[in-house]
Amino acid sequence: MNDEDRVAPSDNVDIYIEIRSDRADVNHIVCSKVCQLLADSVELIEQIQAFRFLDGRDLTGFVDGTENPQGMHRREVALVHASDDAIFFAGGSYLHTQRYRHNLTLWRSLKEQEQEDVFGRTKIDNIEYDDEQKPLSAHTKRTNLKDGNGKSIEILRQSMPYGDMKQQGLFFISYCQSPVPFELMLKSMIHGDGHGNVDSLLKYTQAETGSAFFAPSLTFLTELLEDES
Ligand code: HEM
């Protein structure tokens, strides 16, 4: 997807492996084992070493993930429902990743209030703006979508900050029971609402990669293994 200088590239990647823990050494050991297992069959395109930043903040300084679905609702949002036509894929998840690179020099040139307007939330105490106060170009305005029945369109975000002293950003990760919500949100960010209101966050960060995957359920994988043996 692209519109003027707002881009969302799409890369051809076959496999995505996510390794999560707060121990960098354990992650490294697991990574090495996985790479050894796959060495003869795959080419490593990219490895992103991400980290938890302060109290769950993105490197812009804003808390990321606050409006994520909570409790059992997470499953409803993120996993393909058993009642759906594709029963074979029940419990799996549509996964999207994008590596965003931030322009933090430009971001830091904004006053705190201007940064808050970009997200539609306050920075330090992470309070959502009132509806009438929220700019139409705020990131949370552009991504908070409703369907025809007024029901919220949701995804489960698990993005993580990454970077070193040369380049920094957010590795965006989302899971969903359908591939559609992510695409609708991205469209709303990049193409806007049809009245010129596009996501102002995209002035300060740019997606450099983007891939779509399906993460099958453990049952699916076990059955596959049993079929083979
Ligand atoms: C560099 C890229 C991004 C950054 C830094 C970022 C950061 C944030 C932050 C700080 C919030 C407010 C707190 C929260 O509810 O989590 C937020 C909300 C949200 N973001 Fe992003 N985000 C990025 C990209 C995306 C993309 C690509 C999507 C989907 C296509 C997305 C979907 C959402 C949604 C659905 C919300 C909740 C909106 C609401 O209901 O208030 N974000 N994001």
pLDDT digits (tens, 9 = 90+) for 132-158: 999 999 999 999 999 999 999 999 999
Report the pLDDT value the prediction gives residue 3, as an integer from 0 to 100: 97
Phi, psi of 63 (to 5 degrees): -65, 130
Pocket test for ligand 1, best of 2, 6, 55, 67 (most atoms within 8 A of CB): 67
**How far apart are the C-alpha atoms of 38 and 87, rounded to whole Å?**
29
Q: Whose CA is nearest to atom 27 of ligand 1?
A: 186
Report the pLDDT value the prediction gives residue 85, as an integer from 0 to 100: 64
Instruction: Say if residues 188 and 199 touch (Cβ distance below 8 Å).
Output: yes
- Count of the separate structural domains present in the chain: 1
Domain enclosing residue 149, as ranges: 2-11+53-228
Residue 192 maps to a domain: yes
Q: Whose CA is nearest to atom 35 of ligand 1?
A: 143
Ligand 1 — pocket residues by CB below 6 A?
Answer: 58, 60, 62-67, 98, 100, 119, 121, 139-140, 143-144, 155, 157, 170, 172, 182, 185-186, 205
Residue 63 maps to a domain: yes
Report the pLDDT value the prediction gives residue 160, as an integer from 0 to 100: 98
* pLDDT beneath 50: ranges in the chain: none
Report the pLDDT value the prediction gives residue 135, as an integer from 0 to 100: 98
Residue 38 maps to a domain: no
Residue 101 maps to a domain: yes
Catalytic choice (58, 64, 117, 199): 64
64 is catalytic: yes
Residue 82 maps to a domain: yes
Report the pLDDT value the prediction gives residue 87, as an integer from 0 to 100: 79
Q: From the CA of 171, how far away is ligand 1's center (Å)?
A: 12
Tell me what the pLDDT averaged over the chain comes to. 96
**Ligand 1 atom nearest residue 183's Cα:** 30
Decide: residue 75, CB within 10 A, 0-12 exposed, 13-18 middle, 19+ buried: middle
Contacts of 207 (CB under 8 A, 6+ apart): 7, 8, 9, 98, 99, 100, 172
pTM for this prediction:
0.96
Residue 24 maps to a domain: no
Q: From the CA of 24, how far away is ligand 1's center (Å)?
A: 26
Report the pLDDT value the prediction gives residue 226, as an integer from 0 to 100: 86
Residue 139 maps to a domain: yes
Residue 47 maps to a domain: no
